[in-house]
Homo-oligomer: A and B are copies of this chain.
């Protein structure tokens, strides 16, 4: 018996991208005819079986939810998974998890793997690379075949489906407003590069809070860090060159690095420098001083995503199909020593 061929193997054999294979197999006009026919012929010869979700869905339920997340060494994503597990288990569902490792290709392959009869629906957060490329065909394909998808946190407007998000702009606004209320006037933003949707929204919230309070906006105070290993040097430079009195950091590691670097330079946190971080994880709770954070409510986000997908899976009413919701989970500030 011939081994089953995968999308990845077809891509490798024909020296094209996984995305090209995937699009060719569903006759996408984006792919030139020659390539499309070549891929289809190859797939047919090797008996490649595309997902036949619609068919399998009619006949059976796996009572399993698939989660695809970008990374696992990340407290926020771990807590979302716990939130999904809670509600899923209460309702008799199992959960399987795949990691995209922030890679577009891995996201496509994992969706192919799970959609192939193992699960009833997806809960997912987009990989950085998928957001950067703006290619979501693998997700719309799954939805078009009748399998529900709920996106959380890193979502896109280009796919119509249920979404669970926090209002990143508003949350950032409130964090910066808190710093301003405490008398801080020169507030830096330590963030990542912009192609992750949430990064851009948090920057917008930061800028809006400054302008609403008639504080000058200085783009030198927005520090974009791509590689976490360079974070200490870049933050050190910021603290030496600019007389800032507060930092809003988009994650815990940037925040704790600010604190440690400030201490080395003889600055006291919170007296000389107040710090607020996005994401309420373990580092903030156990750092010295402890760090004030914007809690993203990962458990609640997971709970809601699971509830939405289960309701959709168990609803008999097919007319609801297009009635997608975007649920906004409230964030809240966990005040700790770094802003006391």
Contact = CB atoms under 8 A, between A and B. Distances in A.
A73 B4 CA distance: 35
Contacts of A97: 72, 96-99
A113 B94 contact: yes
A26 interface: no
A98 B94 contact: yes
A20 interface: no
Contacts of A282: 253, 282-283
A75 interface: yes
Interface residues on A, range: 35 or more
One complex includes copies of this chain to the number of 2
Interface stretch (A56-64, A237-245, A306-314): A56-64
B99 A85 contact: yes
Nearest to A1: B59
B260 A113 contact: no
A81 interface: yes
A87 to B, nearest CB: 13
Contacts of A118: 96, 118
Contacts of A73: 75, 78-79, 82
A171 interface: no
A267 to B, nearest CB: 14
Contact of A78 (B6, B63, B72, B96): B72
A75 B78 CA distance: 10
10 contacts: A1-B59, A3-B61, A8-B92, A72-B82, A94-B113, A118-B118, A253-B286, A283-B283, A286-B287, A287-B288
